[in-house]
Each structure stands twice: as C-alpha cells, then as structure tokens.
Amino acid sequence: MGKDVIIALDFDSREKTLAFLDRFQEEKPFVKVGMELFYAEGPDIVRQIRARGHRIFLDLKLHDIPNTVKKAMAALSALDVDIINLHAAGTKAMMSAALEGLTRPDGTRPLLIAVTQLTSTDQERMEQELLIHAPIDEVVLHYARNARDAGLDGVVCSPLEAGSIHARCGADFLTVTPGVRFADGETGDQKRVTTPERARELGSDYIVVGRPITQADDPVAAYRRCVAAFVG
C-alpha cells in the first residue's frame, strides 16, 4: 500500500454517507468508518461501502480482555476491510490475540494498527488521571514498539510523531495520521495540526482527513487538493 488520503466518514446515517460518496464520480476514495456511523447503522454500512468499491479503514479502537478482542476481531474479519485498529494500552497479549482472531482460515487478514495515546490526551491528563509519568512522546514510542513486537502493521499517531516512529519501528511500519488541515482552513477542535504537504515531509503513510473535506463547499475539489498535496 502506498501513500494515500483517507476520508473520515463522520456521518450519523447511511443516507448522509451514501449521498456524500455519490459526489465522487471519477475516483473511489479510501474511507474511514468510525464508531458513530458503525454504531448507528451496523455492519451493513461497511458492506454497502465496500460493494461500491471503496477501501475501508474500520476505526473501532477495540480494547478489552484478549479473548474478547480475539473473538470480536474474528467477527469483524468477515467484513472485508483493509485496515482495522485497537488500543495499544490493551497490552501485547491483547494485540497478539487480536491478530490471531483477525486472521482468516485462508491466512489473509486486514492490516491491524494500534492507537498509541489519543491526541486528545495531553501530558497533564496522563500524569494526573492515568498516573503515567513518562514524557508523552516516549509513551507513544513505547506503545508503538509494543505494537510492532506483537506483530501489528503500524499505528495511528500524530504526523509530528511519524518520523520518530519510523526511526524506532522501521520504515515499513505504517503511520496513519489524523490532525490534518489546509494552511488556509479552520482547525476546529484539533490541537496539533499539520498541512498535507508537511505530513508528507514528515513521513506519514496515510493521512486521515474529515471536516476539511466533508464540510467543504466542494468536497471533491477539497479531496483532490489533499491528494495533490500529499501524494503528489
């Protein structure tokens, strides 16, 4: 898989999602289905998007005891998605179990990536509420290493962390990075943002872009602008 732009389909209904995708007549963007859409519409929405020919990142961020995650991943493996994720905080045992559950009888499986620390968690919250006292950059790198040791394919992280994660975990270890904004756009609730051009320079493999595309007056033009800047 090469560098690409993944559109976050943060919609609350099938109708809105399919109406949005209908606007794309010439290309089939890689899309992300998250908790909001999945819990609203169930697995059928994933099948419908897949049937239209889109590649899919299923962003459900699983985190439970290893046996439960293994069985949940086995159920999700039937959905024919390209990337799926979980929380690295669930431990290496949970990540290994997830990988086992996700692997189909014929040996194929979606790519499995881990969330390190959510970009909504900062140093202060981590120390005061989670009692984790290491610097957040070290925590992110350590979780990425755990994910790699468990056999996972990469992590979700900030574009600002992509370079150090590649240096520590290998150039092939995927970095999938949200928090991307056009230089002339709104940042909304995202704190540490970078442009598609900068994400490319920093070594992100995939950028996840939601509102700058979904809320644009012309989403297809915004998507093309993103692809031109990130993929070239």
The residues assigned a catalytic role are 61
CB of 6 to ligand C5P, least distance (A): 9
CB of 7 to ligand C5P, least distance (A): 9
Residue-wise DSSP of the chain: ---EEEEE---SSHHHHHHHHHT-SS---EEEEEHHHHHHH-HHHHHHHHHTT--EEEEEEE-S-HHHHHHHHHHHGGG--SEEEEEGGGHHHHHHHHHHHHS-TTS---EEEEE-S-TT--HHHHHHHH---S-HHHHHHHHHHHHHHTT--EEE--HHHHHHHHHHH-TTSEEEE--B--TTS--TT-SS-B-HHHHHHHT-SEEEE-HHHHTSSSHHHHHHHHHHHHT-
Say whether residue 175 binds ligand C5P (CB under 6 A).
Answer: no
Residue nearest to ligand C5P (CB): 210
CB of 108 to ligand C5P, least distance (A): 26
Say whether residue 208 binds ligand C5P (CB under 6 A).
Answer: yes
115 to 154: interface string for ligand C5P, x by CB under 6 A: ---xx-----------------------------------
Say whether residue 190 binds ligand C5P (CB under 6 A).
Answer: yes
Place of tokens 């014929």: 106
Say whether residue 8 binds ligand C5P (CB under 6 A).
Answer: yes
- Residue numbers 79-108 binding ligand C5P by CB under 6 A: none
> Segment contacting ligand C5P (CB under 6 A): 12-20, 135-143, 197-205, 210-218?
210-218
Say whether residue 196 binds ligand C5P (CB under 6 A).
Answer: no
Dist CA 74 CA 187 (whole Å): 37
- Residue numbers 37-66 binding ligand C5P by CB under 6 A: none
Task: Please state whether 154 falls in left (phi above 0), alpha (psi between -120 and 50) or beta.
Answer: left
Say whether residue 34 binds ligand C5P (CB under 6 A).
Answer: yes
Exactly one of 211, 216, 220, 225 binds ligand C5P (CB under 6 A); that residue is: 211
Say whether residue 10 binds ligand C5P (CB under 6 A).
Answer: yes
CB of 79 to ligand C5P, least distance (A): 18
User: Can you list the positions of beta strands (E) in 80-203?
Assistant: 83-87, 111-115, 154-156, 174-177
CB of 155 to ligand C5P, least distance (A): 10
Query: Which residues in this chain contact ligand C5P in the complex, by CB under 6 A?
Result: 8, 10, 34, 118-119, 156, 178-179, 190, 208-212
